[in-house]
């Protein structure tokens, strides 16, 4: 998903895969990432974006990762169809997007939900521990819970360590 968008933007600028990857990663690694057959570290993605003169937030917008309603619909559809490959792709794209914009809580929540659904079907947790800590802080900071907040909690509970859930302030579970 992100790799495909990068390839499109790279080609629009007439930059070869060899020139784009030079000094950052191998051309074959970049090609695998562009074809959704490999992964790329966030540091390398940022360096690659700099190489083609694209800011991370501009890249996310062009990749369609700013319209969270569309992402939610894709997650639901993949889950309903038990499409593990698509769920994993969505989850990894959202995790990468969150790495590019670490203060964007909506991206973290959507990544958590995608990872939660993926774990429900595969029993494999894709959600990084440091992101789980950040999600726990978000949930703990909620003074009153409305339907949306309860939904976030319910749709991310599988990826949170049991100890984190047990340690959450019970007073935060008051509904308004």
- In this prediction, residue 66 carries a pLDDT of 60
Q: Catalogue the long-range contacts made by 15-19 (C-beta closer than 8 Å, 24 or more residues apart).
A: 15/51, 15/52, 19/51
- In this prediction, residue 99 carries a pLDDT of 87
- In this prediction, residue 87 carries a pLDDT of 93
Token pair listed for 111:
């990544």
Rounded mean pLDDT, 23-30? 95
If pLDDT is split at 50, 70 and 90, which confidence band does 130 have?
A: confident
Could you give the 3-state DSSP secondary structure of residue 145?
Answer: strand
- Per cent of the chain over pLDDT 90 is 39
Rounded mean pLDDT, 152-157? 79
Which tens digit of pLDDT belongs to each residue from 56-100? 878 877 776 666 667 888 888 999 999 999 999 899 989 988 888
Q: Which of 144, 53, 152 is nearest to 106 (CA)?
A: 152
Which is higher by pLDDT, 146 or 130?
130
d(CA 45, CA 155): 29
């Amino acid at each position: 998903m992100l790799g495909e968008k990068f390839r499109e933007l790279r080609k629009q600028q007439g930059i070869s895969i060899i020139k784009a990857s030079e000094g950052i990663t191998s051309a074959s690694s970049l090609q695998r990432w562009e074809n959704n057959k490999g992964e790329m570290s966030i540091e390398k993605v940022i360096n690659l974006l700099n190489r083609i003169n694209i800011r991370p937030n501009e890249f996310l917008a062009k990749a369609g990762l700013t319209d969270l309603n569309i992402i939610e619909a894709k997650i639901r559809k993949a889950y309903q169809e038990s499409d593990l490959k698509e769920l994993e792709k969505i989850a990894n794209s959202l995790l990468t997007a969150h790495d590019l914009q670490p203060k964007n809580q909506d991206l973290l929540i959507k990544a958590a939900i995608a990872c939660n659904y993926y774990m429900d079907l595969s029993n494999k947790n894709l959600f990084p521990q440091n992101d789980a800590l950040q999600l726990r802080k978000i949930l703990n900071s909620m003074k009153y819970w409305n339907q949306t907040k309860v939904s976030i909690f319910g749709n991310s509970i599988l990826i949170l360590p049991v100890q984190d859930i047990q340690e959450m302030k019970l007073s935060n579970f008051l509904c308004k």
